[in-house]
Amino acid sequence: MAPTTGPIPPHAGIERELEPFLAKASAWREAIHREPELAYHEGRTQQRVLEVLQELGVPSHPIAGSTAVVGVLAPGAKGPCIGVRADMDGLPIREETGSPFASQNGAMHACGHDIHVASLLGATAYLKAHEGELAGPVKLLFQPAEEEGARGGALPMVEAGVLDEAPRVDGVLAIHLKNVLPNAIYGIRPGAAMAAPDHFVVRVVGKGGHAAYPHKAVDPVLMASEVVVGLQSLVSRNRDPLDPVVVSVSMIHGGAKDNILPDVVELEGTIRTVHPQTRDRIEMLFRRRVQGIVESGGGRAEITYHRGYPVTVNDGAVADHLEKAFREAFPPERVLHLEEPYMGGEDFSYFLRERPGLYFFVGTADGGAGAEPMHSARYLPSERAVLAAMAGHVTAVRAFQRAPAEVLRGTSKGRTEGAPSVD
């Protein structure tokens, strides 16, 4: 993996062309950052996007019953149509960046979605000015609810027909900021790029009582603690070491007073996998392990297990073609071939199940707030990341539209590649 910080790279050719559009893109970013909105409630952001697209002269419309927006550049162009996604929702985090454009409403763009939206709008402004040079249409997909984690916002857009309605989308693209990559560096990986994020809730049911007489109770606190420890062996002893798996218990709720053993303790967390067979196996082992531990303690386990987004799988041919294009457009040190997937989850996976495409990364680690953990109250990428994201959008669109026909058709191998199977 690349170092997390380093010298900020000089602007490449396309970035210099985009510099006249950066001031507006940065202003859009700051406005969106000031007013983050949670999943399915992105009404003000939707309105702002529609206003900007109208100002740019780009035909656009909201999706009925949704906060999504669809716009089209060069709708009459005859070449391949590329769909570009930008997710719009924020997170329920109270911001602590101290920025002059920090959010004050108790929510925060702590995952960079403000830059995703603003950089796509900035790239759109540039591409509109060069609309006659586009080989085919560009469909702009401003998506709600990526952070929601269950149904999400991408699947409803697919179901609403955004990929099939004219102009029909031939391939899809999306970026995501990454705090562990140096600022303005691009990371590209064929095959599995992001994990499948599953969610679980375990209610450990015992028998409450006085804490001074634990032998007369069935202690759910003790059983829940043993479950937390016991689940770690799912990773250390039940899967191929080369096959990434994460099991995290992130919430524990139970009890009301120091001298009362409760009846119930609730555990909640996530399991991340990058291969379908591993996903099935880990769920089966998880259920068996939890039931075994709790039953051995005399209690009962009530398990709710929800499968989240699919693995985000980049088409191999598309990834190879676009990585080559990025290496031609930028100095070689600015393009990284990523050897391993990230264990976060992404509902852009639903778009990639329908069309060949690429989900790639733009680094933000700058030695300051852009290197803070994502989903933290302190994460704040710099304006340099806005410009790099704009350049990434433009470079990827142009390269994809000029790709050979076999690349646009995609490769079945690339769209199903994941981690090694588990015997």
**Helix, coil or strand: residue 96:** coil
At position 71, the amino acid (one-letter code) is G
Task: State how far the Cα of 225 lies from the Cα of 254, in Å rounded to an integer.
Answer: 11
Question: Is residue 131 annotated as a catalytic residue, yes or no?
Answer: no
Q: Which of 37, 42, 126, 309 is catalytic?
A: 309
Reported in sequence order, the residue ranges of 45-170 that DSSP labels E, i.e. its strands, are 60-62, 69-73, 82-87, 138-143
Question: Is residue 359 annotated as a catalytic residue, yes or no?
Answer: no
Q: Order of strands across the sheet with 60-62?
A: 60-62, 69-73, 138-143, 82-87, 171-182, 357-365, 186-188, 335-337
First to last CA, the chain: 28
Instruction: Identify whether 373 is preceded by a cis peptide bond (ω within 30 of 0).
Output: no
Structure tokens of 396? 């990827």
Task: State how far the Cα of 385 lies from the Cα of 410, in Å rounded to an integer.
Answer: 29
| Strand partners of residue 70 | 61, 141
Reported in sequence order, the residue ranges of 40-98 that DSSP labels E, i.e. its strands, are 60-62, 69-73, 82-87
Residue (of 128, 162, 4, 153) closest to 54 by Cα position:
128
Task: State how far the Cα of 323 lies from the Cα of 273, in Å rounded to an integer.
Answer: 25
On whether the CB atoms of residues 417 and 343 are closer than 8 A, the answer is no
- Evaluate the CA torsion angle 136, 73, 110, 364 in order and state its sign: positive
Give the active site residues.
Answer: 309, 383
